[in-house]
Chains A and B, each alone.
Chain A
Amino acid sequence: MTPTEAVASIESGMTIGIGGWGSRRKPMALVRELLRTDVTDLTVVAFGGPDVGLLAAAGKIRKLVYGFVSLDSIPLDPLFTQARERGELDVEEYDEGMFVAGLRAAAARLDFLPIRAGLGSDVLPANPRVATIASPYSDDVYVAMPALPLDVALIHMNRADPQGNGQFLGPDPYFDDLFAMAATSTIMSAEKVVPTEQLLHDSSFHTLLISRMFVSSVVETPRGAHFTTCEPDYDRDEAFQRHYVESAKDPEPWTAFTQRFLSGNEQNYHDAVEAFHQTEGAK
């Protein structure tokens, strides 16, 4: 399946979860594909990075549900902060652990999970739909973190087989399995799609994080997490991320950035990135 075909199943108004973490192993090729569609009015659920920045700047997000939005080596994503400061984004901001509990609740088909995080903080007044619940066993009161069910999850893995079994090879699985299990359907991109019997050629069975039970589409997108990390296949493209941030600070360079990198297909994107490195910069 091509990325275009996979993303065609996403409709305006859907709730989509995006795997990875900050500027790490984000399904950026799928996000760029989404930018090429006329889909809009999305509820986006993510440990946000440039995925959130790009979708926010393109006006595709109606509501953002997040634990944080960061580019890691650069703390803030200017496209996200600008959207917030213009008052454009409807947001639910959670403590990171609350966010994970919300995914776990959705994956387990529960309405909520109890958690301590959030009590006493302004996360609760900022999210009036979040209730507390009294313990039936003691005087404790916990946050009843509501489930974060997803229509679609987008995740990017190092390897996958055509049936939808996915493998991470880097140091951290992040929460991609939870995103897949919390979603009605999951689109998984991978650096490389290999026959099932080759999945263990690069690493041990502990890396087989994603089962085909939770995946509906598999697409091969080499360098599909660019410019975020996809260890050990490649590191973050720091020079390009800096260029993204510098461009995003003002409308004019941002228009130039989108015309140069985001106006064509995925091959055009990678060609433009290569040309960027040849002309502007040491990687």
Chain B
Amino acid sequence: MTSDVTRAEVCIAACADTYRESGEVLAHAVGIVPTLGARLAKLTSAPQIVLTDGEAFLMSTPPPLGKSASGGGVIEGWAPFRRIFDILATGRRQSMMGASQIDRFGNQNISLIGDWAQPSRQLIGVRGAPGNTANHRVDYWISRHSPRIFVESVDMVSGVGNDRARAAGPALKYHHLGAIVTNLAVFGFDADGRVMLRSIHPGVDPDEVARNTGFPVDVQNVPLTRIPDAEEVRLVREVLDPRGARSREVPD
């Protein structure tokens, strides 16, 4: 019945699953698939989470994809940027961010490639990654799983990984990396804080995951990522993303 489920839809359900234990927190999501994941969670398994329009408003119903509150949806609160920093300091927030690089302990880089003094490629800067990882749960979304992104060591630690957090001591007691969802698989972290495979998406060859990860990962005996049920697929296709923006981020 759901055999025609696309890879993007599997990824969206995996992103939605990151909110199963979250409680009443602000869901911050960067990217199309993570945004759809948060909205799907809100309509199914995690109705208590708080959504934003990505601008200044908290939404009790999802706004149309790619639009701010002015494009529709029901506003339930005001959260301009200054308020976001106040909220994240309380810990009642969960972020799914992207990454230009990520290492085996979950250290993430979005700032630059190369040297600090003269980068070979200047990217966006650390943005809120240090504060997010210091204050609340952070998950990552990688739309193109490749050895250029999963690297032995990142050029600049923007989001703090498990080894760095441990070394920083009690001030980082709220550090919590959840999952890394990619277009091929879902990672978690083992007891030592190392990246480990949690599931591989249906139809993906485990060797493909190993080949595209720039550090060793055990791909043996890894379960399949769950396929979204019929109601989830309907919500994604008919309610949340009728124009199919998801396949721009993860092609079918």
A1-32 to B contact mask, C-beta < 8 Å, 1/0: 00000000000000000000100000000000
* Contact indicator A139/B169 (Cβ below 8 Å): yes
Does residue B143 face the partner (Cβ distance < 8 Å to A)?
no
Q: How many residues of A contact B (CB 8 A)?
A: 41
Contact (Cβ within 8 A) A121 B122: no
Query: A96 interface residue, CB < 8 Å from B?
Result: yes
Which residues of B lie under 8 Å from residue A230 when comparing CB positions?
none
Residues on B with beta carbons closer than 8 Å to the beta carbon of A119 = 130, 134, 160, 168, 171-172
Smallest CB separation, B112 vs chain A (Å): 7
Known: A93-B125, A100-B82, A140-B170. A116 touches B158 (CB 8 A): no
A48 nearest CB across to chain B (Å): 8
Flag if B156 contacts A68 (CB, 8 Å).
no
Chain B residue nearest to A101 (CB atoms) is: B85
| Pairs A–B under 8 Å by Cβ, sample size 26 | A67-B127, A68-B125, A70-B125, A85-B122, A87-B117, A95-B127, A95-B131, A100-B82, A100-B85, A116-B134, A116-B171, A119-B160, A120-B130, A120-B175, A121-B130, A121-B157, A121-B158, A121-B159, A121-B160, A122-B158, A126-B156, A139-B170, A140-B171, A171-B80, A172-B55, A173-B80
Q: Which of B161, B164, B172 contacts A116 (CB 8 A)?
A: B172
Q: Is B133 an interface residue (CB 8 A)?
A: yes
Distance, CA A34 to CA B220, complexed state (A): 61
With a CB–CB cut-off of 8 A, which chain A residues contact B125? Answer: 66-70, 93
**Which of A86, A118, A172 touches B134 (beta carbons < 8 Å)?**
A118
Within 8 A of A (CB), among B4-60: 55-57
Q: How many residues of B contact A (CB 8 A)?
A: 49
Candidates B56, B118, B164; contact of A121 at CB < 8 Å: B164
Which residue from chain A places its CB closest to the CB of B57 in the assembled complex? A171
* B residues near A122, Cβ cutoff 8 Å: 111, 116, 126, 156-158
A-side residues, CB < 8 A to B, are 21, 66-70, 75-76, 80-81, 84-87, 93-98, 100, 115-123, 126, 138-142, 171-175
Partner of B82, one of A68, A76, A175: A175
Is B121 an interface position by the 8 A CB rule?
A: yes
- Inside 8 A of A80's CB, which chain B residues have their CB? 122
**Complex Cα–Cα for A171 and B128 (A):** 21
The reply to whether A120 and B157 form a contact with Cβ atoms under 8 Å apart is yes
Q: Which residues of B contact A76 (CB under 8 A)?
A: 122-124
Checking A81, A116, A171, A173 against B135 with a beta-carbon cut-off of 8 angstroms, the contacting residue is: A116
Q: Are A120 and B172 in contact (CB under 8 A)?
A: yes
In the bound assembly, the distance between CA atoms of A100 and B160 in angstroms comes to 20
